[in-house]
Structure 1
């Protein structure tokens, strides 16, 4: 598929997938479903929480607060899977949380203390961000876990985001031992090969939904 055709296909898919998400999660009934699923995300994220808890204990035993496990998350839009209750659990497990902010064509990362309110972002199309320490665009190199948003992911590991390529660029800076997990609604995990993948699209190894934590068979160039 050439670049122009792939861009058009991705735009069409985003429109279709966002429409389905809106129909499912808008309104009182949709909001109640989203809240229930947020609690299910916590249940299925037990291995991730255990990983962070273990890293935090190791840092405490070593007396080195600078080695507290760094975890990246994001503030979801009202229709995205609600990852914030899980974020609260990660904070309780000992994570040092960071959230994205716009920095030109790249994301930079800002620390969150687990308590302070989020503020409106000056970046167009960005969700609220914390008023913490800015760590720059390469902070993911030190992260043990990165939670990313998406419009959808297919079972060959292809992720379709919101179209600006921010997370593809950001994930290129992640460390070799960083665990990358994309959080989506259950019906946004699609059959392998459903989504087109370009040369700059970073494959996703693991997806978390309200139905479970799923390790994907990532196929290069699919």
Structure 2
């Protein structure tokens, strides 16, 4: 598990976080509008009954408009609830009023918990990240929450990391335990990421 905090990953995380802090507020607001439109036009989202997503915080690419657009489109949206062991439980999103402050400065749905396996009920999964390589290696925040949760996603379910356009194609070091993602969702579109062959 220590590979998550390799010097190369730590340096890349610092670099991306610094770039996000420098991003103009107007550009961040425009991203939130644009990415909501891109996501709703993407066939896996358009056809989905249930979407697993997350609430952006701080300088992360904004998902607030996207979450509300999904609900308005009749989707069931499930959001993560961070457990003490850093695994993820899930609960349904019923609009901004259903969110409550949680640990680590996060906002989480206050409704009934659905269990760790609820991510497996999603038809498409949208995850946070700081960057992604062309082969789908995702750079997370370092807590490992999604390393625990993503193995529960059934094979074939589209998983997309939500990023600013310039965070796609970064040299993310990949470890054996990392779960790769299939797509990058940006304001400019949905980019398929080439998956290396799975070796067992």
Q: Same fold (TM over 0.5)?
A: yes
Length, aligned pairs only: 196
Q: Distance in 2 between matches of 1:163 and 1:149?
A: 12
Name structure 1 gaps, 5 residues minimum. 25-29, 56-68
SS at match of 1:138: helix
Bigger drift between 128-137 and 96-105 goes to 96-105
Match of 1:19 in 2: 18
Correspondent of 2:78 among 70, 94, 98: 98
1:107 matched to 2:88? The reply is yes
The C-alpha deviation readout for 1:17-66, integer Å capped at 9, x for no partner, is 11111112xxxxx1111111111112322443x545545xxxxxxxxxxx
Give the structure 1 partner of residue 9 of structure 2. Answer: 10
Rounded to whole Å, the distance in 2 between the matches of 1:135 and 1:37 is 30
Q: Which has the larger radius of gyration?
A: 1
Q: Distance in 2 between matches of 1:53 and 1:220?
A: 28
Shift of 1:152: 0.6
Q: Shift of the alpha carbon at 1:14? A: 0.6
Partner of 2:101: 120
Whole-Å separation in 2 of the counterparts to 1:131 and 1:187: 34
Secondary structure of 2:146 counterpart = helix
Residue in 2 aligned with 1:203? 180
2:100 alignment partner, SS class: coil
Q: Secondary structure at the match of 1:204?
A: coil
- Alignment partners' CA distance in 2, 1:87 and 1:167: 19
Whether the 8 Å contact between 2:184 and 2:192 is mirrored in structure 1 is yes
Q: 2:32 aligns with which of 38, 53, 59?
A: 38
Report 1:45-194 matches (<5 A): 45-48=39-42, 50-55=43-48, 69-103=49-83, 104-114=85-95, 116-121=97-102, 123=103, 125-191=104-170, 194=171
Cα 1:90/1:188, change in 2 over 3 Å: same
Asked if the contact 1:70–1:97 (Cα under 8 Å) also holds between the matched residues in 2, the reply is yes
- Structure 2: gaps spanning 5 or more residues: none
Distance 1:215 1:207 in 2: 7
Q: With a CA cutoff of 8 Å and minimum separation of 6, indicate the structure with the bigger relative contact order.
A: 2
Give how far 1:6 is off: 6.9
Name 1:60's counterpart in structure 2. Answer: none
2:6 alignment partner, SS class: helix
